[in-house]
Amino acid sequence: MKAPGSTKLLEVDDLRKHFPIRRGLFSRVSSKVYAVDGISFDIAPGETLGLVGESGCGKSTAGKAILKLTDPTSGRVKLRGVDITDLSPGEMRQYRRELQVIFQDPYSSLNPRMSAGAIVGEPLTNFQIAKGQEVEDRVAALFRRVGLRPEQMRRYPHEFSGGQRQRLGIARALAVNPSLIVGDEPVSALDVSVQAQVINLLMDLQDEYGLSYLFIAHDLAVVEHISHRVAVMYLGKIVELTDRASLFLEPLHPYTEALLSAVPQPEPPKTARKRERIILKGDVPSPINPPSGCRFHTRCPYAFDRCKVEDPAFEEVKPSHWVACHLRGN
Amino acid sequence: MANVDVGPIASSATEIGAKIMREWRRWRRRPLVRAFLATPRAMFAALLLALFAIVSVGAPWLAPHTPFDPATVSLIDSMTPPAWLADGSWTYPLGTDDQGRDILSTLMYGSRVSLLVGLAAVLLAMTVEITVGLLAGYVGGWFESVTMRIVDIQLTVPSILLALMIDGVARVMAPREIHHNLAIYTIILAIGAANWPSFARVARSRAMVEKNKEYVQAARIIGVSHLSIVLRHILPNAMAPMLVIATIDLGLAVLAEAALSFLGVGMPPTQPSLGTLIRIGGNFLFSGNWWVFVMPAVTLVLFVLSVNLLGDWLRDSLNPRLHRAGIKLA
């Protein structure tokens, strides 16, 4: 795998997205859902950052806020050092080309009334990258690149399998030569065998074009395979962020530890060095009323008094290993 | 046997023939076509409607007489009964009215007027209200509230009352001489306006469903403008239920026109629709000349019945929840 470059492609600084809950006669804001509550990270060119967490922890919302599909409540998103947070749709247009997306559901992410060729060609005509026969040629090339046959251009989405549809989604994202692709659970709707093919395709494309990925997923095995670095989210916050090897070998946050212990091992060790299975008590608390102090304290096996009152800072406890936990910090 | 040389023209003709057969076979396999060919009721309705369409369009050429040209009408022939009754004549297969006009011919011209008014009213309602409904559903917010409340108010006004009002205004505004020429436009507007709400409401709800699908978000990411999203992505996917409403509304519009004409505010006797013919015929119902009334009435019933049969079938076959096994619609 290519070594990630040093200058930052994407910088996310203290991003927050709160959804107001309106009730009553005059739509008063009675409470808020703290879907994303202050996350910061960056992605270098050619790098894949995995973003993992349970469902409902805000990882998809974070992805949408970065793509400007929803307006963030506060915080900054910078692309190549340019702040794109407050850009108008018109100003945003030129940055849209840099920032593309692959969605989770290969069924609802393609317009059922458009042919496959038209779907992949739409970004080309939209950004006036090509027209006429050139669109046709480029779409054919994109089809070949993602492992589809150009003869399939005239078909409609329902004539493709799930994996093929996801390849169409990838081709559409690739059409504008983006530098960053946000994958919002791009393989979790696919069969395991197809997952592997799509992930390998994504990794090949990264090598070829120097793409960066923000790879949102809940499947740790998939994330381990594709990511250079991994961020773990819990209830709207990032609790741990480090390179893949450190995260999977020596997780520092109790939540990461518990998550990792839940991953089934293909070959369980026969000796006593069996990994201990950590089972968390209870459910994820509601993001409408997040717990005080450390958000994980209600389920943490190591929680002590300080955790209930003081929110732990997100600190670099080891070189490029960031954790938000009172056990590890000062 | 020696091969017969068919020559280039003949061989290309057979080629074209084979191509047409291939296309036909492909087309026959399409789910909607298959469902249609399996439903005698729908085929019967479609056949009747096709007959109405041909007769209406071709009335000037197909009608045996020109009933509204005083030069060709003779009062001596007035009140001739239909051909199969005593005193009937095959010159006037369905008999004549009080002025000696051939009823078959008046029916053909009358269907032409009725169909024209019905189609124009439905098209008017469709274009105006699908636009309003789609925008309301897509934009949301205060725009949606205002337009939908207007539609609600419109729903509370009975359509006949609305039509009478528009007609009344037109009568006051336009001088008597040109009122007859304006009648058709007035009535199209009146019936169209009465049919608006159903389109607007369905279009809005369809837009609200479609706009949250991922393909719409994907379109935003590849820089498609809002207008194109509504026209190219949402509209084609929202069209199916509109077509069902349009078909059923066509029957309602023709009925409404007949009702207005029957009340005397619709089409003038110089340019009679089926409704006008029924009103005129009503005068002779009790004098024994029943055919002047019954013929246009039966024609109207047959037309509305076939439109409704086709509309019901279309609604059932486009509704995925009512699908029978083996008939799948894309």
Spell out the domains of chain B, with CATH numbers in brackets: 77-320 (1.10.3720.10)
Of B215, B221, B232, the CB nearest to A67: B221
Contacts of residue B251, Cβ cutoff 8 Å, sequence gap at least 6: B118, B303, B304, B307, B308, B311
Q: For residue A296, what is the DSSP state?
A: T
Contacts of residue B179, Cβ cutoff 8 Å, sequence gap at least 6: B170, B171
- Decide if A49 contacts A228 (C-beta within 8 A): yes
Q: For residue A159, what is the DSSP state?
A: G
Which tokens is A315 given?
């600190």
pLDDT of B4 reads 55
CA dist., res. A290 & res. A297, Å (int): 11
Per-residue burial over B181-218, b = 16 or more CB atoms within 10 Å of its CB, e = otherwise: eebbebbbbbbbbbbbbbbbbbbbebbbebbebbbbbb
- Decide if B184 contacts B117 (C-beta within 8 A): yes
- Decide if A107 contacts A116 (C-beta within 8 A): no
Q: How far from each other are the two terminal CA atoms of chain A, in whole angstroms?
A: 35
Task: For chain A, state the CA radius of gyration.
Answer: 21
Q: Do A96 and B218 touch (CB under 8 A)?
A: no
- Decide if A218 contacts A52 (C-beta within 8 A): yes
Q: Å from B207 to nearest chain A CA? A: 14
CA dist., res. B67 & res. B217, Å (int): 59
Q: Å from B174 to nearest chain A CA? A: 46
**pTM across the whole model:** 0.76
CA dist., res. A67 & res. A64, Å (int): 5
Partners of residue A42 on adjacent β-strands? A11
How does the average pLDDT of chain B come out, rounded? 81
Query: What digits encode the pLDDT tens for the residues B238-282?
Result: 888 888 888 888 888 888 888 888 887 777 777 888 888 888 888
pLDDT of A268 reads 67
Residue B328 scores a pLDDT above 70: no
Q: Do B237 and A97 touch (CB under 8 A)?
A: no
Interface ipTM above 0.85: no
Which tokens is A96 given?
């849209």
Phi, psi of A180 (to 5 degrees): -135, 130
pLDDT mean for each 10 residues of chain A (330 residues) = 61 90 72 88 93 87 89 90 84 85 88 89 86 89 92 88 92 92 90 90 93 91 91 92 90 89 73 66 82 88 88 88 84
Q: Where are the alpha helices (DSSP H) in A86-161?
A: 89-96, 116-126, 133-145
Which tokens is A177 given?
């030569």
Query: Which residues from B are below 8 Å from A109, CB to CB?
Result: 213-215, 218
A126 contact B CB<8A: yes
CA dist., res. B204 & res. B304, Å (int): 28
Q: Do A176 and B220 touch (CB under 8 A)?
A: no
Please, how many CA atoms are within 13 Å of residue A19, restricted to the half-sphere of its CB? 12
* pLDDT grade for B96, boundaries at 50, 70 and 90: confident
Nearest CA in chain B to A118: B232
CB atoms within 10 A of CB A174: 20
Residue B157 scores a pLDDT above 90: no
Query: Which residues from A are below 8 Å from B232, CB to CB?
Result: 114
Q: Å from B318 to nearest chain A CA? A: 15
Q: Do A96 and B222 touch (CB under 8 A)?
A: yes
Partners of residue A223 on adjacent β-strands? none
pLDDT of B325 reads 42
Which has the higher per-residue pLDDT, B82 or A120?
A120
CA dist., res. B275 & res. B296, Å (int): 8
Q: For residue A169, what is the DSSP state?
A: H
Q: Do A105 and B222 touch (CB under 8 A)?
A: no
pLDDT of A230 reads 94
CA dist., res. B96 & res. B108, Å (int): 14
CATH 3.40.50.720 describes domain A10-98+178-323: no
Q: For residue B102, what is the DSSP state?
A: B
Phi, psi of A213 (to 5 degrees): -125, 140
Which tokens is A229 given?
């670095």
Q: Do A113 and B217 touch (CB under 8 A)?
A: no
Contacts of residue A32, Cβ cutoff 8 Å, sequence gap at least 6: A18, A19, A20, A21, A288
Nearest CA in chain A to B222: A123
Contacts 24+ apart (CB under 8 A), B153-158: B154/B193, B154/B196, B154/B197, B155/B197
Mean pLDDT of B117-126: 91
Q: Do B237 and A113 touch (CB under 8 A)?
A: yes
A118 contact B CB<8A: no
Share of chain A residues as helix, strand and coil, in percent rounded to the nearest 5? 30, 25, 45
Sign of the Cα pseudo-torsion (B149, B153, B159, B164, in order) = negative
Phi, psi of B19 (to 5 degrees): -65, -45
Which has the higher per-residue pLDDT, B325 or B183?
B183
Q: Do A111 and B219 touch (CB under 8 A)?
A: yes
CA B223 to each of CA A127, B205, B258, B263: distance values in angstroms, whole numbers, following the listed order:
7, 25, 49, 54
pLDDT of A174 reads 92
Of B217, B222, B330, the CB nearest to A172: B222
Mean pLDDT of B88-116: 82
For an interface test with B, give the residue of A84, A108, A181, A216 to mutate (most B CBs within 10 A): A108
Q: Where are the domains of chain A?
A: 10-98+178-323
Partners of residue A20 on adjacent β-strands? A32
Which has the higher per-residue pLDDT, B243 or B288?
B243
- Decide if A103 contacts A67 (C-beta within 8 A): no
